[in-house]
Each structure stands twice: as C-alpha cells, then as structure tokens.
Amino acid sequence: MSPHALDEVAASSSTATPEVLSGYTSVKVFSDNAKVEDGFIISDYAYENAIVKRIPGGMYEVTPNKVDYQFKVDMKVPKTGLMMVGLGGNNGSTLTATILANRYGINFRTKQGLQKPNYYGSVTQASTLKLGVDEDGNDVYAPFNEILPMLHPNDIVIGGWDINSANLADAMARSKVLDFDLQRQVAKYMAQIKPLPSIYYPDFIAANQSDRADNLIDGDSKWDHVQRIRRDIQDFKAKNELEKVIVVWTANTERYAEIIPGVNDTAENLINSIKTSHDEVAPSTIFAVACILDGVPFINGSPQNTFVPGCIELAEKSKSFIGGDDFKSGQTKIKSVLAQFLVDAGIRPLSIASYNHLGNNDGYNLSAPKQFRSKEISKKSVVDDMIASNHILYNEEKGNTIDHCIVIKYVPAVGDSKVAMDEYYSELMMGGHNTISIHNVCEDSLLASPLIIDLTVIAEFFSRVTYKKTDSEDDFEKFYPVLSVLSYWLKAPLARPGCEPVNGLNKQRTALENLLRAFVGLGPQNELKLEERLW
C-alpha cells in the first residue's frame, strides 16, 4: 500500500465498514468496532476495569466496571516542526545531525566499518508491537509506527533556542558525540542552523554555565520573555509553512522552584508573577507558559519542577498538552524494570545505591548542589509506585521506604560516555539477602536523543486523537492536558493532580500499546495464549 492509500480509503469511505486501513504500508485491521469516515478512524471501545473497596480486616469488595468510549483519530499527518530549548547542547545537536543523516541517506565510516544511518533507541522507529497470533498460534509483530499514521522523523523541521550562539556544526563538534566522518558530512547542513536567543536567569542554573551565555533575549521583563517566545514559535511556524509545532526542553537542569502561595500556586497567580517578573519563575516555566497560551505541546526533558501547580492549572484551562519530567534513558529505565521485577517476585528491596559519573555539559551543570538536587529527586521517585503496590513487603511494621542513594560526579575525561553503577540489596525468605550489582557504560546523548523523537511523535499523534463517551451527546474532545502516555520516556512522569504517576516501564508500555489498539478497534493486548494451553 502506498503512503497515500489512507487518504484514498478515507475519501472513498463515508459509511460504516468492518475494514480499517491504518499505518503507512502494512497493517490492515478488520473490526466491527471501527470505521474510516471522512479522513478519520472512528472506533468503539469498551473500557473494562474493576472498582475496589477496602474493607476493615484486610478484605476487598471488587465490582467489575465498564464504560463505552468512542475514539476519533485524524489520519492526516501534519507538517510538523520541533523546537528544542537547548538546541545547541549535546542532545539537540546530536538529534539534528541524526535526522539529517537519515533524511539524506548519509553513510559514514567508523573503525568498525561502514555505518548506515538509523533510529535505534527510538520506540516509534525501531521497535515492534504484537498484533496477535497467526493460524498456528504464533505471535505476530509489526513495526510500532505502522498500526496508525504517525509522523516520521525525517520530515520534522528542526529549530529552537540556546543561550550559546554557536551554529549546530560547531555545537556538534563541541559535544564530541558523533564520529568524525559523520560530522564532516553533515556539517554543511548543520552550519546553516543557528539557535535563537534564549532566556538566562543565572539563579536557576549552575554558575559554571555563565561562560556559554552569549545568546540571550534582551530585557528583564519575564512577561516580555513570554511574548518573545510566542513570537519565535509563530515566526518559525510561518517561515517553514508548518501546521504544528512541538517544543521540548532539553536544556540545562534548573534548581527546583519554590512553591509559594500567591506566586505560582494558581494559573492567575502565576501569570501575575510573570508580569511582575517574580524571582521564583524559572526559564523553563516561561517557555511552558508561552507554549500553553498558544496551544503548543510542551515537554520538559529535565528534572526540575517546571510544571508548578499554576502551570498545570493554566494548561487545564487552555486545554494545551504538557508532559514531563526528565528523559528516562539508561540507568533509571533499568531501575524501573528491575525494581518492579523484584517487588513482583515477592522479594523486598531494602536499598538501591546508584552512582554516575559523566563528562559532558550536563554533568558539569549537575556538579552544582541545587541542580543535582533536582536530578536526585527525579531519580528517586521512580520506585515510589512499586513500593505502594505491595503492602506485604512494605508496611508500618516492616517500613514503607527503600534506602535510595544517588551520586553524580563530573569527570571531564569520560565525555558523553556516562558510567553508571547500581547495587540492589534485597531481603529474601527467612532472613536471607540478595545483592544485584550492575555496571553500565552508555553514550548518554545517543540514548537520550531518540527519546526526543518518540516524545515528539507521540505528542503530535495524540493531538490528532479525540474521544467521547458513547452514550453522550457531547462533542469529541481532546485528552486531558497532562499527557501521561509520554511516561514511558520520562523519569518522573507528570500525573494528573490527585492521581499517582505510574513508573513501572512495562505498565507504561502496555498502556500505550493498548490505547493504539483501541484506536483501530482492537481489544487490549492478550497474553492468555489459550491456543497452546487448551485441548
């Protein structure tokens, strides 16, 4: 099927049909629960859950619950731009070079031989999901991005801001991430991209970053800064004839902002505080507010608390997507799997000690205590819901916490090759103990950059999804502004106020897969495998 087949099907189909064509080329879904109509996939989905009431004495009353929803997916993928805050940093320059290499088919040589460009590390571009089973009961997998129409990274238009004025060719060379032969070939494209001036409030990032800050937006008015960012986005969109823009913060880690009543606790107070240039409004929050006011999805890839309560409330009022916090790449992603494995196995982790050293600018910034504290909080929170899930292992008698130690050291010699060492010390049956030690060396930016692709692709996709309850006469509406489906890629996932975030990696992935299945009329992923268990 050609990439245009979806449009052809949509144009020719205006009545209900059990056939739904989805994806770019390969997946055809036959379902009575879905139809293609006027360029949209419209699906019916019965969301089944169980409502549990805790009864004193350790008893539970469980009542099955079902709510019928209808989903509507716009099949047209818009021309989309990605604007990164921190465009000239390791992640920004690495991602831009990768997209250019893939777009232009640039092969390059390393000491291992000829390399072809790829998007390894990206879930949307380099992973598969299970569709079902074949006639023999064997699992069948398809590329993740072929079940529904999704943005391809080769088509993304790149732009953004940085406090440093270096063009991206020089920024790429400074980062020392990519092999020289690749840098040599993409430099002519990279040199044409120069970051827009950005916001610099010295109190929020480490003092050691001041030497880089030569590309700054003028003035001290924080409200003027909001308006400037809005104009930058509008100008970028118009210049490149874009239909949509996604903004991702991949700049320095900031210190935590204090939550102060009357300053940033409500949307109204936050806007007033920006207009009076209050000291406790961070640069990342300025970017977030600018995006929210214009309905531009904003994702925070660093650990600071960009989304203060007033910022979340503003997103709710504007119905504008936000997501965060902190890219989940190597060590923490392993932790979200391993800790869950131990708890689910009935083993009681007592302590997790995590040590890192790295030599890139992220590590340099994190050598300052306040910025390190932001990272420490995001790394520790990843096991919170796992502890809460098992009151047999964690309770008032045994204790409700894990001793969790985080150490990050700046070692310039290792550059972007971050070294991570973890020790999991757990209690076994009858007073026994188990220690799991992991030593992991990763190229930090080559793990983090693909996450930006996925966050952009999924955020753009969900901006084309609406829903309503089947028995409702209300119009279709967008998902809740805190886009929790992005949690798979984020260390400290932002949750709807009053809801606990989900940190377990497998749970996050399953939720995302099942949503995509629901949009094409398929039920949730089923691993009963009755084909091999019954006569």
Amino acid 48: pLDDT: 94
Query: Averaging pLDDT over each range in 189-203, 328-342, 493-507, which range is the top one?
Result: 189-203
Q: Map tokens 């099949």 to a residue.
A: 75
pLDDT category of residue 475 using cuts at 50, 70 and 90: very high
Amino acid identity, residue 509? R
Residue 497 has pLDDT above 70, yes or no: yes
Residue 221 has pLDDT above 90, yes or no: yes
Closest by CA position to 292, among listed 311, 270, 268: 311
DSSP code string of 172-198: HHHHT-S-HHHHHHHHHHHTT--PEEB
The first and second tokens of residue 75, run together, are: 């099949």
Mean pLDDT, rounded, for 324-340: 86
Q: Round to whole Å and give the CA distance between 23 and 477.
A: 23
Mean pLDDT, rounded, for 232-236: 98
Mean pLDDT, rounded, for 481-508: 91
The residues near 458 (Cβ < 8 Å, ≥ 6 apart) are: 124, 485, 486, 512
Mean pLDDT, rounded, for 475-491: 95
Q: Round to whole Å and give the CA distance between 452 and 193.
A: 18
Closest by CA position to 468, among listed 33, 45, 50: 45
CB atoms within 10 A of CB 115: 15
For the segment 343-377, what is each residue's pLDDT rounded down to a tens digit?
A: 999 999 999 998 988 878 777 777 767 776 766 66
317-338 burial, b at 16+ Cβ within 10 Å, e below that, comes to ebebbbbbbbbbbbbbbbbbeb
Closest by CA position to 456, among listed 146, 141, 99: 99
pLDDT category of residue 274 using cuts at 50, 70 and 90: very high
pLDDT category of residue 399 using cuts at 50, 70 and 90: confident
Which sign does the torsion angle of CA 250, 168, 237, 22 carry? negative
Q: Round to whole Å and give the CA distance between 139 and 119.
A: 25
Residue 386 backbone phi and psi in degrees, to 5: -70, -40
**Pairwise pLDDT comparison (442 vs 52), residue with the higher score:** 52
Under 8 Å between Cβ of 247 and 308: no
Active site residues: 326, 375, 418, 491
CB atoms within 10 A of CB 103: 16
Amino acid identity, residue 384? D
Mean pLDDT, rounded, for 175-189: 97
Which sign does the torsion angle of CA 501, 506, 508, 514 carry? negative
Q: Cis before residue 325, ω within 30 degrees of 0?
A: yes
pLDDT category of residue 63 using cuts at 50, 70 and 90: very high
User: How many residues does the structure list for the chain?
Assistant: 535
Tell me the residue ranges of DSSP E strands in 308-364: 322-324, 348-358
CB atoms within 10 A of CB 118: 13
Mean pLDDT, rounded, for 265-293: 98
Q: Round to whole Å and give the CA distance between 417 and 247.
A: 27
Tell me the residue ranges of DSSP E strands in 268-385: 298-300, 322-324, 348-358
Mean pLDDT, rounded, for 282-305: 97
- Please tell me the least confidently modeled range out of 195-204, 271-280, 357-366: 357-366
Residue 9 has pLDDT above 70, yes or no: no
Mean pLDDT, rounded, for 233-250: 98
Amino acid 151: pLDDT: 97
CA distances from 280 to 97, 233, 438 (A): 35, 24, 39
Q: Round to whole Å and give the CA distance between 222 and 71.
A: 40
The first and second tokens of residue 397, run together, are: 């008698």
- Please tell me the least confidently modeled range out of 101-115, 376-390, 409-423: 376-390
Strand order in the sheet with 80-85: 196-197, 157-162, 80-85, 244-249, 298-300, 322-324
* Homologous superfamily of the 331-444 domain (CATH): Dihydrodipicolinate Reductase; domain 2 (3.30.360.10)
State percent of the chain over pLDDT 70. 93
State percent of the chain over pLDDT 90. 71
Q: Round to whole Å and give the CA distance between 59 and 325.
A: 36
The first and second tokens of residue 32, run together, are: 């009575």
Mean pLDDT, rounded, for 447-471: 96
pLDDT category of residue 25 using cuts at 50, 70 and 90: very low
Amino acid 295: pLDDT: 97
Amino acid 372: pLDDT: 66
Mean pLDDT of the chain, nearest integer: 90
Mean pLDDT, rounded, for 50-74: 94
Amino acid 375: pLDDT: 61
The DSSP call for residue 357 is: E
Amino acid 191: pLDDT: 98
Task: Please list the residues that pair with 404 across neighbouring strands.
Answer: 352
Amino acid 378: pLDDT: 63
Under 8 Å between Cβ of 29 and 520: yes
Closest by CA position to 453, among listed 148, 161, 139, 92: 92
What is the rounded end-to-end Cα distance, in angstroms, of the chain?
Answer: 38
Mean pLDDT, rounded, for 481-499: 92
Under 8 Å between Cβ of 108 and 96: no
Mean pLDDT, rounded, for 297-312: 96
**Pairwise pLDDT comparison (447 vs 26), residue with the higher score:** 447
pLDDT category of residue 332 using cuts at 50, 70 and 90: confident
Closest by CA position to 511, among listed 533, 534, 493: 493
The residues near 303 (Cβ < 8 Å, ≥ 6 apart) are: 253, 325, 326, 374, 375, 377, 378, 379, 491, 492
pTM attached to this predicted model: 0.90
Amino acid 33: pLDDT: 93
Mean pLDDT, rounded, for 234-254: 96
CB atoms within 10 A of CB 140: 10
Mean pLDDT, rounded, for 44-51: 95
Task: Please list the residues that pair with 133 across neighbouring strands.
Answer: 139
Q: Round to whole Å and give the CA distance between 184 and 113.
A: 16
Q: Map tokens 């910022």 to a residue.
A: 311
Closest by CA position to 251, among listed 199, 193, 321: 199
Q: Any idea where the domains of the chain sit in the sequence? A: 331-444
Amino acid 365: pLDDT: 72
Q: Round to whole Å and give the CA distance between 162 and 172.
A: 13
H-only helix segments in 463-522: 505-519
The residues near 356 (Cβ < 8 Å, ≥ 6 apart) are: 331, 407, 408, 409, 418, 419, 420, 421
